Amino acid sequence: MSSQPPPRKQIVRMRVNGRWREDAVADHALLVDYLRETAGLTGTKTGCDGGECGACAVLVDGVAVPSCITLAARCDGHSVETIEGMAQGGRLHRLQKAFHEQLGAQCGFCTPGMIMAAEALLRKNPKPTEAEIRSALSGNLCRCTGYVKIVKAVQIAAEAGS
Amino acid sequence: MNASVPGTPANARRGIPLVDGVEKVTGKARYTADLDRTGALVGRIYRSPVNHAEILRLDVSRARALPGVIAVVTGDDCPHPYGVLPVAMNEYPMARDRIRYRGEPIAAVAAVDAETAEQALALIALEVRELPAYFASDEARASDAVLLHENKEGNLERAVHHAFGDIDAGFAEADLVREVSIDCAEVNHAQIEPHAALAEFDPLTGRLTMQSVSQVGYYLHLMLARCLEMDESRIRMIKPFIGGGFGARVEALNFEVITALLARVAEAKVYTELTREECFLTHRARPQTTTKLKLGMAKDGRLTACECEVIQRGGAYAGYGIVTILYAGALLQGLYRLPAVKYDGYRVYTNLPPCGAMRGHGAVNVRHTFEVLLDRMARELGLDPFDVRRANLLEAPTRTLNDLMINSYGLGECLEWVEKASGWRERRGKLAPGKGLGMACSHYVSGAAKPVHWTGEPHAVINVKLDWDGVVTVLTGAPEIGQGSSTMAVIAVAETLDIPPDWLRVICGDSEVTPKDNGAYSSRITFMVGNAAIDAARKLKGILVDAAARKLQASPDDVECAKGSFRNARSPEQVLPFIDVVREALVNEGTITVKGTFTCPPEAQGGKHRGGAVGSTMGFSYAAQVVEASIDEVTGEVTVDKVWVALDCGHAINPLAVEGQIEGSVWMGMGQALSEETRYLDGLPAHASLLEYRVPTSNESPPVDVHIVETNDPNGPFGAKEASEGALASAMPALVAAIADATGIDLDQLPVTPDRMMDALIERRRRARREATRKVAP
Amino acid sequence: MTRPIHDFRLLRPQSVDAVIEARSMHENSRIVAGGTDLIVNLRRGIGRPSVLISLDGVEEIGQTFVSPDGARIGSGVTIAAVLADRELAAKFPALAAAAMTIAGPSHRNLATVGGNLCLDTRCIYYNQSEWWRASNGYCLKHRGEVCHVAPQGDRCHAVFSGDLAPALLVHGAEVELAGSGGRRRMPLADLYREDGRAHLTLADDEILVGVHLKHESLRSGYAKVRTRKAMDFPLAGVAVALDGNVGALRALRVALTGTNSCPVLLQGTDELLGKPVDEALLKSIDKLVQRQAQPVRTTLASANYRRLAAAGLARRLTDSLATGNASVS
Ligand SMILES: Cc1cc2nc3c(=O)[nH]c(=O)nc-3n(C[C@H](O)[C@H](O)[C@H](O)COP(=O)(O)OP(=O)(O)OC[C@H]3O[C@@H](n4cnc5c(N)ncnc54)[C@H](O)[C@@H]3O)c2cc1C
Ligand code: SF4
Ligand code: FES
Ligand code: FES
């Protein structure tokens, strides 16, 4: 019923949280919209008009990227991890556990992006200093915590090991 | 296990993680944007491109004719002004006849998809006659200025004039009288979740279901009924997870009403999500404020008189404005002993997005000014800033000149802790060059003792349901927005019943299920809803004790209830598990529901003077903090190295959450002090992104050492008071004092961005040079 | 659901030649590398290219080669990869220091060297939404007639704000370009011109292939001022490279970003060679910077501040590099 024909789509294959999917995706679709609307993974959030808050951070091939300024089509053939893929075997991931227990999440809106950014850090640097943690999370804004308990949660998760 | 074992100090207890925390860390929590939107139309708002104008013609016919557009609404669809204060409703969800700020909603569309909605907006035609626009309070107050609202002379929304005590005598008694004028920029809540609403209107039943980001479902409910001319009983309000508030959502917002209007016209489900820019246009935050303050001080630091003029640039509509300007005056008091206070406040209409309530509502910029002046006067008199505060401590119980009730007062202990923890005595004046220490105090209310809408109902109601499965369900309308209110309610009930919090469930914010609640504002929930929760739990406990007594064949007076079981005090081997007692209680009764309530007594509701209810509360929280900062004299960059803060919250029901609130509020104050400000270019928000509106990142955010002081308030739930706003207002003055300590520079403007700091450094150099030449000259 | 970007086709050619061919075939096309600048702008309705040509499939530009006498950095190398390359950081310290200050960590995983060098210029009247710019009657740089920053003039003063360019300039970088006419190499400074509307000298069908650096005996550093310590473009950024010591300088190069419509390699530093690094020399640098930095009100921070901060940073960096306390950012 719309006034224009829908945009042309192409088949995109992506490994999302360990499972391959195949979807028809418009070239101008953003990864965040693909994840939230097409794949139904609403854990990834959006907090800004593009690239300014980090709420949408996901891992592409193991590194954190802002999914709100990443074209979905460019992830064709790549592996994407979101907050939904973190808890495994009925257990919270160590970062999730630490964020929960240390109150690293208040309203929780920045939390998925924050945890993904922290996960990217710990994979690269399992024993980060406080300054390294602060630097790794500096693209993820949080309005509730002042980052105090977020930093603490990442420290505790790091100590817990993988 | 227990969060708040009575008698154990907060700093030795831990508290419990949030009851809804697992959903948040797993991505399962559904915020408004995550709700099922199957079949929902996309709502979009057409906003004014001009600052101030009469609408000559608004033509939406081409938008309406576009295939895929299901509904278009304009100001004609809602002839009822609305607003959070019954005495000041002067805003329409979409402008009618008159536009008063750029970005004001004028029309809205609901379409099958976002692309179509966007195209439809481009087809709307607007013709206007522009009027002069005012972006500063003094311009708007000029005698020849066009009035934004015809009945508001001088573009003043409200002028407040209060005087208590003998002001002349006070200043006459002073050894030092000083005056400052301090300018604090407008700031914004910038909660990370953008505004969104999902409204569904069912034409078959005539019912509307509204889900949105509101902190005040009840007020929104009222305004929807008013604006849509619907019976309240036809509207259901459901609160999803909410990604922060800080006051951004404490009144019904235009996009919420618009979404509901669209849903009704479309007879469908409509989803509207605002861009970050639109969130900034919706605004409702802390106004730009100019505070002129004059204090009288005796040689020993005692305050003798206080005279204060506050001008708030309020934006285009009333909103909470009257309350904001009243708070600014009322909360001059309640922190220190003040023998005489004169207050003149002006809330000004300007052609900018409307201001509203933001964390520390009304009190923050005035407190900043007050503390900054105290610091400077202390210096002039050669007194230590801590000693000056100590010279002016109150003694609880007492009442202030403006009749605010103070029943517990822990400021002295707060001072003591931060003084020690920061090493103030040993370190101040001995830090490396470019480093300084500063301190300040602040306070805030634990809920407005008089609600905005007077109905005669209790101020808080909670229901607790207990069923055959042994689950205790707390039903509360108190909006959990991340502050931990649901967890607080669970702990209050669990502790009263002495069962593990894990045995409880909480259902929060559904008008068809949970009792009405006034909402998450003025830090009312812990105090009021907490008391109501305890009241409900006590009633439930009574029922269970009776049941246990029946089963134990003992007198209810002999039944002890502890750690989830019941026993007969006279024969302690007779123990009943909780579930057995529950089943006994249900015999002949079935599912049990009890209700707890709380009402602030009239004597807490403030003085008899006009506006006296604002500022009145059952209890104030108190905070003191020390900030250590570094100043880079080459670039003007200011770094907060560390903060020590102590807060008297009466009793920490959940110490973990209390700490989190204190850290968050201190940090938010620091953001306002360092980098946050809104700026308009000819009425356009230049700051309307999270790149230009600079919320601090983790890189420049300091470690914060928190200490909780517990004064055990006589009326608070387990002695508790508020904990999430009180520490904010002292962050800014403590930083400004630290900068003064480091550089000798007194700053009269916030935020202290690098360019402002640099200007001040240059000015200091110039002055030094001038003085040097003056000395050389004979 | 984010606001939709306009509909376009995405091409992902696999070689430089294929990119150039695609460029000449599609008139209304744009190159996208990391997209951390371009996609943000497209989301704000700045430009409506019908085709985006992504560089992510082009292997040739995705690598860095470091040799004893220099380095070649492909334009598609990410900022994160630059940061991870220790050899590069050891040889060209200013480069790593500058890379560390770009945007936020997750941006740096996408953002590329080429994108950073070809970064669009910025202005408070330009980096705004479509509604905002339309309400303001647009401006010279895009769709409009006047410049709101300097209404009397006829040029755009939008400011170049990439952090890498000054660091590369002080290391004497050359850029390699490829177009339908073949490949060419030129000094990095020649990639730019002082015009906020068209600050790149690239031909329409040309792309940046890589950056060439010669190893010289230089100490270098980069420093930038901004309001936040992450996620903030430079209000002023300064790179300094020098050889020699406090007694006498053998080489001195200073470059600026965030002050003009293009990065500025400071002229006149040669006259300071052979002189001791003392207050007089630092004052001369200060003067040179203040004269050649030409900030105007394209940011909310005052232009004067940006000029003074640039000068202050240049002095401090020069001093600390000369005394051996090489400071990073
Ligand atoms: C919140 C935020 C903060 C930021 N902060 C900074 C900062 O502090 N410092 C900074 O420097 N940048 C900053 N940026 C901008 C940007 O992230 C970086 O400059 C980045 O390096 C751009 O690279 P890219 O590959 O993502 O560029 P793209 O967005 O892909 O491209 C940018 C431009 O360059 C062109 N282009 C790209 N590659 C080539 C090529 N090989 N040949 C010809 N043209 C090409 C594109 O057509 C486009 O016009 C920030 C961005 C955001 C969103
Ligand atoms: S400098 Fe002038 S022309 Fe250039 S972007 Fe800014 S306002 Fe537009
Ligand atoms: S949503 Fe803000 S960075 Fe992606
Ligand atoms: S927890 Fe609310 S934004 Fe981070």
Q: Is B418 on the interface with A (CB under 8 A)?
A: no
Residue A1 lies in a domain: no
Grade residue B2 by pLDDT with cuts at 50, 70 and 90: very low
pLDDT recorded at residue B399: 96
Please tell me if the CB atom of residue B482 comes closer than 6 angstroms to any atom of ligand 4: yes
Sorted by where each begins, the domain ranges of chain B are 133-392, 393-450+608-778, 460-599
Query: How many other β-carbons are positioned within 10 Å of the β-carbon of residue B585?
Result: 22
| Percent of all residues in chain C with a pLDDT value above 70, rounded to a whole number | 98
CATH classification of the domain holding A62: 3.10.20.30
Residue nearest to atom 13 of ligand 1 (CA): C103
Alpha carbons B362 and B359: distance in angstroms, whole number: 9
Chains touching chain A through at least 3 C-beta pairs below 8 angstroms are: B, C
Q: Mean pLDDT across the stretch C255-269?
A: 98
pLDDT recorded at residue C327: 42
pLDDT tens digits for B43-72?
Answer: 999 999 999 999 999 999 999 999 999 999
Q: Are residues A98 and A157 in the same domain?
A: yes
Render B123-163 in DSSP notation, one character per residue: T-EEEEEE-----SHHHHHSTTPPPSSTTSGGGEEEEEEEE
Which residue matches tokens 């100090």? B9
Query: How many other β-carbons are positioned within 10 Å of the β-carbon of residue B35?
Result: 18
CB pairs under 8 A between A and C: 103
Q: Are residues A132 and A150 in the same domain?
A: yes
Structural domain including A59 reads: 9-85
Alpha-carbon gap: C187 to the closest alpha carbon of chain A (Å): 32
Q: Are residues A25 and A75 in the same domain?
A: yes
Q: Are residues A98 and A145 in the same domain?
A: yes
The verdict on a CB contact (< 8 Å) between A28 and C80 is: no
pLDDT recorded at residue A1: 52
> So what's the ipTM on this one?
0.98
Is the pTM value of this prediction over 0.90?
yes
Look at residues A85, A115, A133 and tell me which one is the last residue of a structural domain. Answer: A85
Nearest to B635 among C124, C302, C312 (CB): C312
Look at residues A85, A111, A141 and tell me which one is the last residue of a structural domain. Answer: A85
Phi, psi of B607 (to 5 degrees): -75, 175
* Rg over CA atoms, chain B: 27
- Give contacts of B 693-752 with A, CB under 8 A: 695, 697-699, 701, 703-704
Residue B473 to residues B467, B594, C92, Cα–Cα distance (Å) = 9, 11, 64
Q: Are residues A79 and A118 in the same domain?
A: no
The verdict on a CB contact (< 8 Å) between A51 and C36 is: yes
Chains touching chain C through at least 3 C-beta pairs below 8 angstroms are: A, B
Pick the residue from chain A with its C-alpha nearest to B667: A146
pLDDT tens digits for B511-525?
Answer: 999 999 999 999 999
* Residue A115 · residue B25 · CB < 8 Å: yes
Instruction: Report the domain count for chain A.
Output: 2
| Percent of all residues in chain A with a pLDDT value above 90, rounded to a whole number | 94
* Beta carbons within 8 Å of A40's beta carbon, 6+ residues apart: none
Whether the predicted pLDDT of C9 surpasses 90: yes
Q: Mean pLDDT across the stretch A5-32?
A: 95
pLDDT tens digits for B410-451?
Answer: 999 999 999 999 999 999 999 999 999 999 999 999 999 988
Alpha carbons A81 and B316: distance in angstroms, whole number: 45
Q: Mean pLDDT across the stretch B619-633?
A: 98
Alpha carbons A43 and A17: distance in angstroms, whole number: 12
* Residue B37 · residue B259 · CB < 8 Å: no
Q: Is A58 on the interface with C (CB under 8 A)?
A: no
Tokens (6 digits) for B601 = 């007594």
- Give contacts of C 121-160 with B, CB under 8 A: 124-125, 127-129, 131-132, 134-136, 148
Q: Is A65 on the interface with C (CB under 8 A)?
A: yes
Domains B393-450+608-778 and B460-599 share a fold: yes
Residue A4 lies in a domain: no
* Residue B240 · residue B196 · CB < 8 Å: no
Q: Is B637 on the interface with C (CB under 8 A)?
A: yes
Pick the residue from chain B with its C-alpha nearest to C314: B634
pLDDT tens digits for C275-323?
Answer: 999 999 999 999 999 999 999 999 999 999 999 999 999 999 999 999 9
- Considering the four listed CATH numbers 3.10.20.600, 1.10.760.10, 2.60.40.10, 3.30.365.10, the one that applies to the domain covering B393-450+608-778 is 3.30.365.10
Q: Are residues A72 and A100 in the same domain?
A: no
Q: Are residues A58 and A118 in the same domain?
A: no
Distance B279 CA to ligand 1 centre (A): 26
The verdict on a CB contact (< 8 Å) between C110 and A66 is: yes
Nearest to A139 among C8, C43, C105 (CB): C105
The yes or no reply on domain B460-599 and CATH 3.30.365.10 is yes
Which residue matches tokens 């024993």? A127
* Beta carbons within 8 Å of B19's beta carbon, 6+ residues apart: B486, B487, B490, B501, B504, B506
Q: Among B287, B329, B284, which residue's Cα sits nearest to residue B312?
A: B287
Pick the residue from chain B with its C-alpha nearest to A43: B27
pLDDT recorded at residue B181: 98
pLDDT tens digits for B131-149?
Answer: 999 999 999 999 999 999 9
pLDDT recorded at residue B773: 87
The yes or no reply on domain B133-392 and CATH 3.30.365.10 is yes
Q: Are residues A53 and A23 in the same domain?
A: yes
**Terminus-to-terminus CA distance in chain B, angstroms?**
76
Handedness of CA B547, B551, B554, B560 (dihedral sign): negative
Residue A75 lies in a domain: yes
Whether the predicted pLDDT of C329 surpasses 60: no
Residue A64 lies in a domain: yes
Q: Are residues A65 and A109 in the same domain?
A: no
Q: Is C132 on the interface with A (CB under 8 A)?
A: no
Distance C189 CA to ligand 1 centre (A): 18
Chains touching chain B through at least 3 C-beta pairs below 8 angstroms are: A, C
Alpha carbons B214 and B32: distance in angstroms, whole number: 10
Alpha carbons B103 and B110: distance in angstroms, whole number: 19
Grade residue B6 by pLDDT with cuts at 50, 70 and 90: low
Tokens (6 digits) for C124 = 């408070």
Residue A120 lies in a domain: yes
The verdict on a CB contact (< 8 Å) between A108 and B21 is: yes
Distance C305 CA to ligand 1 centre (A): 25
Whether the predicted pLDDT of B774 surpasses 90: no
Alpha-carbon gap: B248 to the closest alpha carbon of chain A (Å): 12
Mean pLDDT estimate for chain B: 96
Q: Is B686 on the interface with C (CB under 8 A)?
A: yes
Query: How many other β-carbons are positioned within 10 Å of the β-carbon of residue B116?
Result: 24
pLDDT recorded at residue A113: 98
Which residues on B lie below 8 Å from C136 (Cβ)? 681-682, 684
Q: Are residues A100 and A79 in the same domain?
A: no
Q: Is A61 on the interface with C (CB under 8 A)?
A: no
Q: Mean pLDDT across the stretch C186-209?
A: 97
pLDDT recorded at residue B422: 98
Look at residues A52, A85, A118 and tell me which one is the last residue of a structural domain. Answer: A85
Q: Are residues A49 and A81 in the same domain?
A: yes
Nearest to C313 among B33, B635, B753 (CB): B635
Q: Are residues A105 and A59 in the same domain?
A: no
Whether the predicted pLDDT of B342 surpasses 50: yes
What is the three-class DSSP state of B173?
A: helix
CATH classification of the domain holding A111: 1.10.150.120
Q: Among B160, B256, B243, B181, which residue's Cα sits nearest to residue B211?
A: B256
